[in-house]
């Protein structure tokens, strides 16, 4: 079973180029949304929500890069980390 078999997305993949970028990001654990915009890799990490109390998401928060939330919210930091490790989150396809 490949990495893409477990990946859920918030909408259908638009074309082959988007599918290849999504595959690259899934393989390398990098942000699809940041890669779509900047054409460079930024590692996905677990971050606390600045909007919702006690909620966590997978995304990018780096200096010089706007924050990107690549996943749904998780009720625990451990749950978000497990989804990242297992690649079982739902990938947001649009910002």
pLDDT digits (tens, 9 = 90+) for 33-90: 999 988 889 999 999 998 999 999 999 988 777 788 999 999 999 999 999 999 899 9
> End-to-end alpha-carbon separation of the chain, Å?
29
pLDDT of residue 1: 47
Among residues 15, 22, 2, which one has the least CA distance to residue 70?
22
pTM for the predicted model, two decimal places: 0.86
């Amino acid at each position: 079973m490949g990495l893409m078999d477990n990946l859920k997305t918030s909408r259908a993949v638009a074309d082959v180029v988007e599918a290849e970028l999504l595959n690259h990001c899934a393989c390398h654990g990098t942000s699809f949304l940041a890669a779509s915009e900047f054409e460079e890799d930024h590692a996905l990490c677990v971050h606390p929500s600045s909007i919702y109390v006690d909620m966590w998401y997978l995304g990018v928060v780096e200096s010089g890069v706007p924050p990107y939330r690549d996943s749904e919210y998780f009720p625990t930091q451990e749950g978000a980390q497990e989804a990242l490790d297992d690649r079982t989150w739902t990938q947001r396809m649009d910002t």
